[in-house]
Structure 1
Amino acid sequence: MQDRAALVTNARQSILKGSKSFAIASHLFDRVTRERVWLLYAWCRRCDDIIDAQDHGGALGIQTGAAERLAQVREKTALAFAGKDSGDPAFDALGLVARETGLTLDMARDVIDGFALDAAEWQPHSEADLMRYCWHVAGAVGVMMAVVMGVSPDDADTLDRACDLGLAFQLANIARDIEEDDAADRCYIPLDWLAEEDIPPGEQMKPHYRPALTRIVARMCKAAEIHECSARIGAARLRPRQRWAILAAAGIYGEIAREVARRGEHAWDHRAVVSNGRKLGFVANAAWAAIRPVPRSCIALASARKYGRIDLMALSRKQGVPNCT
């Protein structure tokens, strides 16, 4: 097993390669929190890459053997929490940050259950299904990140707000990546939403359905905005530098959803990105927002949230994880 310095170096390289936006925001944390955030990110990134047979995102690899890859993720994660050498620095990084912060194997399993949904080529039927997926692949990560930042596992409301930020991020990603997902034979738009707009499953990217698809995506981006506002309420409870970093990340990722919504039918002509200059602008805006009260308009919008962490956890327990064999 590598020493802490080597694991942190590997984790830093991973976030710089896998998420430039989050890498920028992470530098606003104090050193200890920053390194722990990198360590947790490295595990999340590595799990995602193993399941999708890819390297730090990008094009999906050959998808055969999904069950075996999922089993590998579960096994290495269990080794990490047992304090044993996993043979993979990203999993060893998880073991390290878990020992330093109190992360639990159950928290990690919540995230892995999201990878199981992807491995089973699952598609949501309803809005609740969509939010359940977002909980596993991003909301549960938000909870782990909050614990890494020192939020007590007993502080249910702040953990809910941390989950909301993950939900907002994932909804933005789904809205932006609909065309890329379609090319990989994946779709995270609820079948109910497609039916409401008379779009046959699998045909959402056909040009004559573009106006209907735009309405669906506007709905998704609005949900992302609601959860982002809810997360801002929780961010106000963090320490100053942590609050600054989280608000910067919220602004940058929120801009992805806003850009997709602004483009309308042209949202997928080219991938929506936030330039480095605009990212720096969000960092500056976050510094000001971090010392100001949460805007009343944001608090009002947050009240429209339909799904919280506890609701989604209960839904997941009820439905279970599909078999991907």
Structure 2
Amino acid sequence: MVDRPGLVSNARKAILKGSKSFAAASYLFDSKTRERVWLLYAWCRRCDDIVDAQDHGGALGDQSGAAERLQMVRELTTLTFAGRDTGDPAFDALGLVARETGLTLEMAGAVIDGFALDAAGWQPHSEADLMRYCWHVAGAVGVMMAVVMGVSPQDKDTLDRACDLGLAFQLANIARDIDEDDAADRCYIPLDWMAEEDIPPGEQMKPHFRPALTRIVKRMCHASRVHEASARIGAARLKGRQRWAILAAAAIYGEIAREVERRGHHAWDHRTVVSNARKVGFIGKAAIAALRPVPRASIYLASERRFSRSDLIALARHNPFKQT
């Protein structure tokens, strides 16, 4: 018999420790949606921690054996979709929320493919590569979150908008964490972008390349804003409290990208965070925004070129990633 309260309690602890920003936004959902969001988050967090040998997104552990850990994630995920008890509460949480909402193994597999890229020490060559990576590690999660909130798998446009929110979040995270990723021998800046700025691979954090890196990050933050604007169009189709929660999350994560861009050369002097007081402010503004039509400025920005979920799935299908 499934211990739902126990799985929910474990998932709540995971999100409180792993993502304070998303945890704050999650409390705006109705109780049923909130618990399901927590359950899905717990699986995402656990997969990432297993593959990267870390604890709730902390410092990376020993990366040897990553392929074996990735295979374990795949096997446990397959097992939980088969209705089997895995013995791991995070994977059992995924099985529970999948039964309640209709999540599929294919959806989960798209997320796991992102962990596979990290396990392989992969770096994007082009902007399309970067966006496909963001699709796997965050856009696909956005799609799963939308289904958890009751969006029909047949509502392709709204799922595209949910994917856009994940893309926006991940681009903001990458821009903020360039120095941390460099310390872990990872880089998500497309090699093409670095070549355009005459930055040799692996030297992006050298002080004399800081002006060029700042230009690259400005480009990345703009892409984040475009996808965030698109996501706001999709959020307008959600129920009241769901719309409020998504708009709050978009504002909080969007502020990370905006702050990184504002800091310019000093963006990596210390980690960019959004204070609790500012989070409360964004939550309040999101409550007002949830009652109004999508701003014209967001509609205009969303009309700029962006990578849709359909585009990224097609790219991944016809142009497999080249491992470096």
* Displacement over 6 Å in runs of 4+: none
C-alpha contact (below 8 Å) 1:2/1:89 kept by paired residues: no
Whichever residue aligns with residue 39 of structure 1, its letter is: L
In structure 2, how many angstroms separate the alpha carbons of the residues matched to 1:186 and 1:255? Answer: 24
Q: Once the two structures are superposed, what CA deviation does each residue of 1:145-179 show, in whole Å capped at 9, x if it has no partner?
A: 00000000000000000000000000000000000
Is the counterpart of residue 23 in structure 1 residue 41 in structure 2? no
| Residue aligning to 1:84 | 84
Whichever residue aligns with residue 116 of structure 1, its letter is: A
**SS at 1:108 equivalent:** helix
Whichever residue aligns with residue 226 of structure 1, its letter is: V
In structure 2, how many angstroms separate the alpha carbons of the residues matched to 1:274 and 1:247? Answer: 15
Whichever residue aligns with residue 273 of structure 1, its letter is: V
| Residue aligning to 1:124 | 124
Equivalent residues in 2 for 1:217-232, closer than 5 Å: 217-232=217-232
In structure 1, how many angstroms separate the alpha carbons of the residues matched to 2:224 and 2:139? Answer: 12
| Residue aligning to 1:271 | 271
In structure 2, how many angstroms separate the alpha carbons of the residues matched to 1:172 and 1:323? Answer: 24
| Residue aligning to 1:59 | 59
C-alpha contact (below 8 Å) 2:122/2:323 kept by paired residues: no
In structure 1, how many angstroms separate the alpha carbons of the residues matched to 2:277 and 2:306? Answer: 34
- Could you state the TM-score of these two structures normalised by the residue count of structure 1? 0.98
Question: Offset of 1:87 from its aligned partner?
Answer: 1.4
In structure 1, how many angstroms separate the alpha carbons of the residues matched to 2:57 and 2:182? Answer: 16
| Residue aligning to 1:43 | 43
In structure 1, how many angstroms separate the alpha carbons of the residues matched to 2:223 and 2:147? Answer: 25
Whichever residue aligns with residue 57 of structure 1, its letter is: G
| Residue aligning to 2:184 | 184
Whichever residue aligns with residue 71 of structure 2, its letter is: A
Whichever residue aligns with residue 168 of structure 2, its letter is: A
- Could you state the TM-score of these two structures normalised by the residue count of structure 2? 0.99
In structure 2, how many angstroms separate the alpha carbons of the residues matched to 1:80 and 1:235? Answer: 30
Whichever residue aligns with residue 142 of structure 1, its letter is: G
Question: Offset of 1:322 from its aligned partner?
Answer: 6.2
Gaps of 5+ in 2: none
C-alpha contact (below 8 Å) 1:101/1:147 kept by paired residues: yes
**SS at 2:83 equivalent:** coil
| Residue aligning to 2:245 | 245
C-alpha contact (below 8 Å) 1:227/1:305 kept by paired residues: no
Is the counterpart of residue 109 in structure 1 residue 98 in structure 2? no
C-alpha contact (below 8 Å) 1:232/1:247 kept by paired residues: yes
**SS at 1:291 equivalent:** coil
Question: Offset of 1:320 from its aligned partner?
Answer: 3.2
For residues 50 and 142 of structure 1, do their structure 2 counterparts lie closer, same or farther at Cα, with a shift above 3 Å needed? Answer: same
Gaps of 5+ in 1: none
In structure 2, how many angstroms separate the alpha carbons of the residues matched to 1:189 and 1:5? Answer: 41
In structure 2, how many angstroms separate the alpha carbons of the residues matched to 1:2 and 1:203? Answer: 50
For residues 41 and 322 of structure 1, do their structure 2 counterparts lie closer, same or farther at Cα, with a shift above 3 Å needed? Answer: farther
Question: Offset of 1:58 from its aligned partner?
Answer: 1.3
Q: Once the two structures are superposed, what CA deviation does each residue of 1:246-281 show, in whole Å capped at 9, x if it has no partner?
A: 000000000000000000000000000000000000
In structure 2, how many angstroms separate the alpha carbons of the residues matched to 1:224 and 1:321? Answer: 22
For residues 228 and 319 of structure 1, do their structure 2 counterparts lie closer, same or farther at Cα, with a shift above 3 Å needed? Answer: same
Whichever residue aligns with residue 91 of structure 1, its letter is: F
| Residue aligning to 2:288 | 288
| Residue aligning to 1:8 | 8
Question: Offset of 1:319 from its aligned partner?
Answer: 2.9
C-alpha contact (below 8 Å) 1:116/1:321 kept by paired residues: no
In structure 2, how many angstroms separate the alpha carbons of the residues matched to 1:205 and 1:8? Answer: 41
| Residue aligning to 1:97 | 97
C-alpha contact (below 8 Å) 2:48/2:115 kept by paired residues: yes
| Residue aligning to 2:34 | 34
In structure 2, how many angstroms separate the alpha carbons of the residues matched to 1:319 and 1:53? Answer: 29
Question: Offset of 1:305 from its aligned partner?
Answer: 3.2
C-alpha contact (below 8 Å) 2:227/2:306 kept by paired residues: no
In structure 2, how many angstroms separate the alpha carbons of the residues matched to 1:101 and 1:322? Answer: 34
How many residues matched?
Answer: 324
